[in-house]
Amino acid sequence: MLSDVMEDYLKAIYVLQTESGPPVSTSAIAERVGKTPPTVTSMLETLEERGLVEREKYKGAELTEEGRTVALEVLRHHRLLEAYLAERLDYSWSEVHEEADALEHHISEEFERRVASALGDPAVDPHGDPIPGADLEPPADDDTRPLTEVAVGDRVVIARVSDRDDEELEYLDRAGITPGTTVEVVDIAPFGMVTVVGGPDREPHGSDADGDGGEREQSLPEAIAGAVRVRPVEEVNGAAATDAGVGGA
Amino acid sequence: MLSDVMEDYLKAIYVLQTESGPPVSTSAIAERVGKTPPTVTSMLETLEERGLVEREKYKGAELTEEGRTVALEVLRHHRLLEAYLAERLDYSWSEVHEEADALEHHISEEFERRVASALGDPAVDPHGDPIPGADLEPPADDDTRPLTEVAVGDRVVIARVSDRDDEELEYLDRAGITPGTTVEVVDIAPFGMVTVVGGPDREPHGSDADGDGGEREQSLPEAIAGAVRVRPVEEVNGAAATDAGVGGA
DNA sequence: GTGAAGGATTAGACGAGTCTAACTGAAATA
DNA sequence: TATTTCAGTTAGACTCGTCTAATCCTTCAC
């Protein structure tokens, strides 16, 4: 049986690997799980003995297929929980992360099934992150890119928002930059400040927006814009695009 | 911060204390938490240092007020979770225990509040056990007694059913002996075998009962009947009618 | 090609929680 | 009261996950 701690490392490696490809460095893992590098080295050894990662000393680590499956299971739990909390217990999308982190290691398979089915097998969580399927196959790459890489004049749909930082999330929530919203980039200033215009085209999360539904202009610092991924508006294909359970409740 | 493990010990001590009064023996705790007696001794020392239990060597242990508050918090989590799982995720009352055990240490105060309010602040869990209030005051003694102590001819309401053993629970579920059911004791045979007649007078838990709503005769072995607590029929709601401290352990 | 910088690993220690084996104390019995 | 029994405790060891300090690569700049 794997400990919670191991599951956390595996999840961290998976996410890092997805963001920037393998191999993943010791220090990147350390940073993400909030431990020191020696601790990570030693855990990596354990994980390697168990066949969950492969690593090359001084280079970095990579999940084995088994390790990836475990990571996807944890991620599925995490994102299903986030979706459930937002949809059934009235959490706002910026609040769900921490609770899901605490619970993700402790739910049974039965619980997972019941939650998934209560929600109708949602494809994405409230931040727009894809929820791995019950088969635990890695999700296909999507066609999103960071908001910082969009050209001025483009109209795009907010696809997802990194759930790493609470303050960022609050900021974006107040700014109305939520998954599913369509915006147009009107300016990219020095230092990466991105200005967008647009607003929710369906109901927003959490407390309701003010009446001006849709044409606010927002300027986002680069640090925040970089945490937002977008996709082209014209996208309509079945799985990812419009429905997909994004708009909580 | 208290570990999950400590919370488990505290919960165990609380329950044992409630069942048979303080002090609680090392071996009783060991049995309940599934650890060896030396392990318990050593944990008891830790708990004493932290001011959560008082103990007298070779005699036994007792919760301090602070220890009791922690135990009640855990119990509140446990029972709220059981109630939520049964009511909102379609678990049957015999399935909820294990899931709640795993989750009880990891939910936030916020989660506790939301679950409680989603359910309308329920007073009892699906097994009939009282859910401690948000104030964490110890619940008053109730007027229940074990089914084995009822006189032949008495009509009584099933108040609660011990949630310790899955098989017992399944057995009782199939037999229709569920909290809220009114039964009449028609016989007490040698070896404590108790025969009752009756059935659900309100809706049963889990899958619906067959049409014959209420006159099956059931014979329960003593081991099982002892896990069932009952109260007089004339009792109407949870507001504890009189002070008749009969069943009080 | 050499050296400096900086990330990674090794070494060693520690606290938590657990165990088994050995011993101690308390309580019941004779 | 002396003995026996058995629960409770002490002793000592082990695993896990963690840390700090010291050392060891690798790589990048010159």
- Residue range A91-113: average pLDDT? 95
User: Sorting pLDDT into bands at 50, 70 and 90, what band is A236?
Assistant: low
Structure tokens at A88: 């059934």
Task: Answer yes or no: is A16 CB < 7 A from strand C.
Answer: no
Cβ atoms of B195 and B148 closer than 8 Å: no
Cβ atoms of A195 and A185 closer than 8 Å: yes
Question: Is residue B1 scored above 50 in pLDDT?
Answer: yes
Within 10 angstroms of residue A191's Cβ, the number of other Cβ atoms is: 8
The C-alpha atoms of residue B235 and residue A96 are separated, in whole angstroms, by 43
ipTM above 0.90, yes or no: no
Determine contact: A164 vs chain B, CB below 8 A. Answer: no
Question: Is residue B33 scored above 90 in pLDDT?
Answer: yes
The C-alpha atoms of residue A17 and residue A63 are separated, in whole angstroms, by 8
What is the phi-psi region of residue B34: left when phi exceeds 0, alpha when psi lies from -120 to 50, beta otherwise?
left
User: Sorting pLDDT into bands at 50, 70 and 90, what band is A176?
Assistant: confident
Q: What are the start-end ranges of the H helices in A95-202? A: 96-103, 109-118, 166-175
For tokens 């007696």, the residue is B37
Q: What CA–CA distances, in Å, run from A18 to A21, A27, A54, A72, B126?
A: 6, 16, 16, 12, 43
Determine contact: B117 vs chain A, CB below 8 A. Answer: no
Sheet holding A182-188, edge to edge: A145-146, A228-232, A155-161, A182-188, A194-199, A217-220
Nearest to B182 by CA among B161, B202, B199: B199
Distance of CA A216 to the CA centre of its chain: 25
Q: What are the start-end ranges of the H helices in chain A? A: 4-20, 26-33, 37-49, 65-88, 96-103, 109-118, 166-175, 222-225
**Those residues with Cβ within 8 angstroms of residue A40's Cβ, 6 or more apart along the chain or in another chain:** A9, A26, A27, A29, A30, A33
Residue pairs between chains A and B whose CB atoms are closer than 8 Å? 41
Task: Answer yes or no: is A60 CB < 7 A from strand C.
Answer: yes
Residues in A closer than 8 angstroms to B114, CB to CB, are 89-91
Sheet holding B216-220, edge to edge: B145-146, B228-232, B155-161, B182-188, B194-199, B216-220
B217's enclosing H/E stretch is: strand B216-220
User: Bigger pLDDT: B24 or A143?
Assistant: B24
What mean pLDDT value characterizes chain A?
87
pLDDT, residue A247, reads: 39
Cβ atoms of A96 and A212 closer than 8 Å: no
**Which chain D positions come under 7 Å from a protein C-beta?**
7-12, 16-22, 25-27
Which residues of B, range 28-87, sit inside 8 Å of A by Cβ? Answer: 85
pLDDT, one tens digit per residue, over B101-140 is 999 999 999 999 999 999 999 999 999 999 999 999 999 8
pLDDT, residue B214, reads: 52
Residue ranges of domains in chain A, CATH in brackets: 4-63 (1.10.10.10), 145-205+213-232 (2.30.30.90)
pLDDT, residue B248, reads: 32
For tokens 């992150």, the residue is A129
- Residue range A93-120: average pLDDT? 96
The C-alpha atoms of residue B121 and residue B131 are separated, in whole angstroms, by 9
Amino acid letter for position A134: A
